[in-house]
């Protein structure tokens, strides 16, 4: 839902303070933007009391009013923007948890963007509304992806019912439903043929980095913020509710004051995660032992590691049990989840397509600013700012911006050089779309001339790569071998005399990660793959790579990122029109 964005004058009594006039009670996302005259580095952001309580007191006419009974989290938010990339996030839910995402920018028109999702109790018709503000400017834009919006009139209900993700966040943007996660687990249970199995989320995260679980765990549960969690699958359990058990790390209130409140196991938490049976990991060893003693067989679901890597986490545990349970068997099921992940559901495709739309906006931002004299990092920042501005939490992977010779380095990441007058710039980047650290993304590469015009030599090489891309895409269909696609792409470039300048494969699947699982040698219907030929000429100081994301259908394919300019004419026209 899109709400009008109100002006945000600073409170007169506190010159370095900004009052945010929020709706009295909403159950939808909203975006509040603060212009450069309204928010300064180190500003104190103050909330009116009615933003927390849903009731606007008479004193609300005074900017920034608040009372002593407002929830603590709503009383004061001190936003210290140390750099232009700082972010601050809290949450608000029906239990008065604040969800707030603050993004400071160096954009000339916006000093800070505040994206928030509120879920407050509904008001009675007689409830006072916050006072109207005269002279307010009304603008609408997309909000962050975990709190996105559908177009409705302010003051009315949403045009379509909110979806709910694990974690309880109402969504109007594409999302995987709890029902789909449950269906995935049921399909795995069927494949286990009576074997006991487990999928571990892994551990990590903290102040320095976000935690992201093992992707098979994320795929089966949708849970992205429970370090140490374990999913136990026991198809032979006589009680259906115990065929899928979620184990969570112990509840530690004192630690969670620092790292995030998790709460006790109760009906609300079970509903949030979509499980009938939830236990603490302190019970895991004994429960697993009893399951395996009954089943006498187990199956590994994590990938099988090579000989010089650590044993998979599930196999490590099952090996120990095999030493303790006579006749206990272990079999290989490592392809089961991978084959499910390889074929995207309608909801997954909707999320990937949303990511592609956001990625297009990021590249549009690049075309408007790319010119000699800017740095590679400036281009990276423009793309990633464009992603966040249009509903992403950031890049799907580390953005590559290689100018001149740097464009010949396949995974160049320094992004620190200044772009020269005659350089070609290889840009490999895509937006991520999803909650927290999870979600789906796009993987797109474009090669643009810094001057806005390709030289004759640059155009010659570019056209060869473009022909390879288009010829290969035309070959994509369900059942084709990945090796055949590579051969088709490589033949075009080899016939043009540049086979030795094409050192990588033609593409890969994408999904929960940029190089997603590829369990079989052929491409299944419903897969999303990249096609990304390239020619790299270090002696001439430039490289060319072009990459699109392709949905595989029964009869052919659909190019999900084809609207991002990539022909010579499209690129030169877009750069000319956007920079005038």
CB 548 within 8 A of CB 557: no
Taking only the tens place, the pLDDT of each residue in 92-128 is 333 333 334 443 333 333 333 333 333 333 323 233 3
CB 536 within 8 A of CB 498: no
Range in 129-143, 318-332, 540-554 with the lowest mean pLDDT: 129-143
Question: At residue 342, does pLDDT exceed 50?
Answer: yes
% of the chain with per-residue pLDDT over 70: 70
Question: At residue 533, does pLDDT exceed 70?
Answer: yes
What pLDDT is stored for residue 324 in this prediction? 96
What pLDDT is stored for residue 172 in this prediction? 63
% of the chain with per-residue pLDDT over 90: 65
What pLDDT is stored for residue 578 in this prediction? 81
What pLDDT is stored for residue 205 in this prediction? 80
Tally helices (H) and strands (E) across the chain. Answer: 14, 26
What pLDDT is stored for residue 260 in this prediction? 83
Q: What is the mean pLDDT of residues 393-416?
A: 96
Q: pTM of this prediction?
A: 0.72
Rounded CA-CA distance 37/295 in Å is 67
Residues composing the chain: 580
**Quick one: which of 365, 265, 334 has its CA closest to 579?**
365
Question: At residue 274, does pLDDT exceed 50?
Answer: yes
Burial degree of 21 (CB within 10 A; 0-12, 13-18, 19+): buried
Question: At residue 175, does pLDDT exceed 70?
Answer: yes
What pLDDT is stored for residue 56 in this prediction? 35
Q: What is the mean pLDDT of residues 499-514?
A: 97
Q: Which has more pLDDT, 337 or 130?
A: 337
Question: At residue 572, does pLDDT exceed 90?
Answer: yes
Range in 130-144, 177-191, 397-411 with the lowest mean pLDDT: 130-144
CB 543 within 8 A of CB 408: yes
Residue 312 in tokens: 């998979």
- At 389, which helix (H) or strand (E)? helix 376-389
Question: At residue 89, does pLDDT exceed 50?
Answer: no
Q: What is the mean pLDDT of residues 152-176?
A: 44
436 band by pLDDT with thresholds 50, 70 and 90: confident
Question: At residue 373, does pLDDT exceed 50?
Answer: yes
Q: What is the mean pLDDT of residues 416-428?
A: 97
- For the chain, domains (ranges, CATH) are 1-160 (no CATH), 178-340 (3.40.350.10), 344-578 (3.90.230.10)
Taking only the tens place, the pLDDT of each residue in 200-251 is 999 988 777 788 999 999 999 999 999 999 999 999 999 999 999 999 999 9
How would you classify residue 293: left for phi > 0, otherwise alpha for psi between -120 and 50, otherwise beta? alpha
What pLDDT is stored for residue 420 in this prediction? 97
Question: At residue 144, does pLDDT exceed 80?
Answer: no
What pLDDT is stored for residue 50 in this prediction? 33
Question: At residue 161, does pLDDT exceed 60?
Answer: no
Question: At residue 390, does pLDDT exceed 90?
Answer: yes
Taking only the tens place, the pLDDT of each residue in 304-333 is 999 999 999 999 999 999 999 999 999 999
- Chain-centre distance of CA 164, in angstroms? 16
Question: At residue 147, does pLDDT exceed 80?
Answer: no
Q: What is the mean pLDDT of residues 495-503?
A: 98
Q: Answer positive or negative: Cα dihedral of 420, 426, 431, 432.
A: negative
Q: What is the DSSP letter of 533?
A: -
The pLDDT mean for the chain works out to 77
């Amino acid at each position: 839902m899109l709400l009008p964005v109100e002006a945000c004058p600073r409170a007169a009594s506190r010159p370095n303070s900004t009052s945010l006039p929020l709706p009295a009670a909403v159950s939808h996302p909203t975006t509040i933007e603060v212009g450069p005259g309204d928010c300064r580095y180190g500003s104190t952001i103050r909330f009116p009391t009615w933003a927390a309580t849903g009731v606007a007191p008479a004193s609300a006419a005074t900017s920034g009013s608040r009372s002593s009974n407002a929830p603590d989290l709503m009383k004061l938010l001190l936003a210290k923007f140390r750099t232009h990339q700082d972010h601050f996030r809290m949450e608000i839910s029906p239990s008065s948890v604040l969800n707030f995402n603050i993004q400071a920018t160096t954009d000339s028109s916006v000093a800070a963007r505040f994206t928030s999702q509120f879920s407050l109790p509904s008001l009675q018709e007689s409830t006072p509304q916050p006072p109207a503000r005269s002279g307010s400017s009304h603008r609408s834009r997309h909000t962050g992806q975990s709190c996105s919006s559908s177009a409705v009139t302010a003051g009315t209900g949403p045009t379509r019912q909110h979806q709910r993700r694990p974690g309880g966040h109402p969504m109007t943007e594409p999302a995987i439903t709890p029902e789909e996660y449950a269906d995935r687990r049921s399909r795995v249970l069927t494949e286990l043929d009576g074997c006991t199995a487990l999928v571990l989320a892994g551990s990590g995260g903290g102040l320095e980095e976000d935690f992201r679980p093992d992707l098979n765990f994320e795929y089966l549960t949708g849970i992205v913020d429970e370090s140490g969690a374990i999913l136990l699958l026991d198809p032979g359990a006589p009680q259906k509710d115990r065929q899928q058990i979620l184990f969570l790390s112990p509840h530690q209130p004192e630690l969670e004051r620092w790292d995030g409140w998790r709460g006790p196991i109760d009906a609300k938490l079970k509903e949030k995660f979509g499980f009938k049976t939830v236990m603490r990991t302190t019970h895991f060893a004994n429960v697993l032992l009893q399951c395996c003693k009954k089943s006498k067989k187990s199956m590994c679901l994590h990938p099988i590691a090579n000989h010089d890597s650590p044993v998979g986490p599930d196999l490590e545990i099952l090996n120990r049990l095999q030493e303790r349970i006579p006749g206990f068997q272990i079999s290989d099921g490592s392809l089961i989840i991978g084959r499910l992940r390889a074929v995207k559901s309608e909801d997954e495709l909707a999320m990937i397509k949303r990511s592609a739309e956001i990625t297009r906006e990021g590249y549009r931002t690049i075309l408007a600013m790319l010119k000699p004299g800017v740095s590679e990092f400036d281009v990276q920042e423009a793309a990633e700012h464009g992603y966040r501005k249009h509903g992403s939490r950031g890049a799907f992977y580390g953005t590559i911006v290689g100018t001149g010779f740097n464009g010949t380095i396949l995974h160049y990441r320094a992004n620190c050089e200044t772009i020269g007058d005659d350089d070609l710039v290889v840009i490999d980047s895509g937006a991520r779309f999803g909650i927290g650290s999870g979600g789906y993304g796009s993987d797109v590469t474009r090669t643009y001339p810094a001057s806005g015009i390709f030289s004759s030599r640059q155009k010659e090489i570019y056209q060869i790569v473009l022909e390879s891309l288009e010829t290969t895409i035309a070959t994509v269909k369900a059942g084709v071998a990945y090796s055949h696609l590579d051969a088709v792409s490589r033949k075009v470039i080899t016939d043009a005399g540049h086979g030795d300048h094409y050192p990588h494969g033609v593409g890969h699947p994408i999904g929960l990660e940029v190089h997603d699982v590829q369990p079989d040698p052929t491409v299944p219907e419903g897969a999303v793959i990249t096609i990304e030929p390239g020619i790299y000429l270090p002696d001439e100081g430039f490289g060319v790579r072009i990459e699109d994301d392709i949905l595989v259908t029964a009869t052919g394919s659909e190019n999900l990122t084809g609207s991002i300019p990539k022909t010579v004419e499209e690129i030169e026209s877009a750069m000319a029109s956007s920079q005038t």
